[in-house]
């Protein structure tokens, strides 16, 4: 069963490709390497022992995408391809509106011409904006987005809900996930930011290895127990597993739409993560406290009871595991 994975060479996409193969699927990757690098494909083949079809195209190019559908005839799609940095979206909103919304519409134009069974969309907890209370459940009201990135995910969800109403034969699943971190336990694949990292963990590991002089922690005056932002950090392999379970559910339950949070259900502050990394990996991080960063929600973590009930999903990896794997990956990269 062929599954098209847009953004399949990226952080979450690559780990999901591994899980798809482990569960008997045949992934087909589309990725233009704007947020990844081509050597990841070799690493995927080393981990899985499988030669994976890869198309280095922009998923928003209707002609190129149609050619892939014509040749591969996928039965399902997991759509990761998007720009994803909150702060960058504040600085360059048009980039996000084009890639995350216009290109999504182009993808749906192509899907409209072919038969698939299950579509899984990579959404985000940013759709909740600044929630009135935490943890957030799938019934938590959607508030105004804190950033253009969050807004593109809100709009993307609405576009998909409207489109798939016209496609009752296709199951739509929307996964709102929280903060993916870590790396494959082999350290052959992991988070690979292009340029200066926008996410906490790669900035920590790059500072620890000496690629960055100093980590800036943005803001210590939030209304949280220690004044720092609180997030729900989920190991990327647990997130990858959630995508495979969701895809399977859609394949087996026709027109059974899902909207699920994917998180550990535990909130951890940024400072707690920095301290935990130092303790677990026996290394000191050179960090300083900076001003708040525009677009950051003060605190958010998941109520994950619905995905546990629907898919019998639970996270297997701890924060400690994720921080160990991320550091192992960073050291592996330094020796590449």
DSSP state of 98: I
User: In this structure, are residues 263 and 123 in contact, taking their beta carbons and an 8 Å threshold?
Assistant: no
**Buried-state track 235-247, b at ≥16 Cβ within 10 A, e below 16:** bbbbbbbbbbbbb
Residue 218 burial by Cβ neighbours in a 10 Å radius (0-12, 13-18, 19+): middle
User: In this structure, are residues 226 and 51 in contact, taking their beta carbons and an 8 Å threshold?
Assistant: no
State both tokens at 130: 């600044």
State both tokens at 275: 């301290």
Residue matched to tokens 């994720």: 322
DSSP state of 186: T
Residues ≥6 apart with Cβ < 8 Å to 274: 204, 215, 217, 285, 287
| Nearest alpha-carbon partner for 25 in 244, 185, 189, 241 | 244
Residues that are catalytic? 149
User: In this structure, are residues 127 and 154 in contact, taking their beta carbons and an 8 Å threshold?
Assistant: yes
Residue matched to tokens 């990394």: 277
């Amino acid at each position: 069963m062929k599954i098209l994975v847009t953004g399949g060479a990226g952080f979450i996409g690559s780990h999901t490709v591994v899980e798809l193969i482990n569960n008997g699927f045949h992934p087909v990757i589309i990725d233009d390497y704007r947020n990844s690098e081509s050597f990841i494909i070799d690493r995927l083949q080393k981990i899985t022992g499988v030669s994976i079809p890869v198309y280095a195209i922009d998923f928003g190019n209707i002609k190129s995408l149609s050619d892939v559908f014509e040749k591969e005839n996928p039965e399902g799609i997991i759509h990761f391809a998007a720009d994803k940095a909150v702060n960058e979206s504040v600085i360059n909103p048009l980039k996000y509106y084009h890639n995350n919304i216009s290109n999504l519409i182009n993808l749906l134009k192509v899907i409209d011409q072919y038969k698939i069974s299950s579509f899984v969309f990579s959404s985000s907890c940013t759709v909740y904006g600044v929630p009135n209370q935490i943890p957030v459940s799938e019934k938590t009201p959607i508030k105004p987005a804190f950033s253009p990135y969050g807004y593109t995910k809100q709009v993307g969800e609405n576009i998909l809900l409207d489109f798939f109403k016209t496609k009752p034969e296709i199951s739509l699943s929307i996964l709102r996930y929280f903060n993916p971190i870590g790396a494959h336990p082999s350290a052959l694949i992991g988070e690979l930011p292009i340029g200066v990292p926008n996410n906490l963990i790669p900035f920590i590991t790059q500072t620890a290895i000496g690629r960055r002089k100093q980590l800036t922690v943005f803001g210590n005056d939030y209304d949280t127990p220690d004044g720092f932002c609180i997030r729900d950090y989920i190991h990327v392999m647990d997130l990858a597993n959630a995508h495979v379970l969701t895809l399977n559910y859609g394949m087996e339950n026709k027109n059974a739409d899902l909207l699920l949070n994917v998180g550990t259900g535990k909130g951890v502050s940024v400072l707690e993560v920095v301290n935990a990394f130092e303790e677990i990996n026996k290394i000191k991080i050179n960090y300083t406290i900076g001003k708040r960063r525009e677009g950051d929600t003060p605190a958010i973590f998941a109520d994950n009871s619905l995905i546990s009930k629907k898919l019998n999903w639970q996270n297997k990896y701890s924060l400690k595991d994720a921080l160990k794997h991320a550091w192992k990956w960073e050291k592996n990269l330094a020796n590449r």
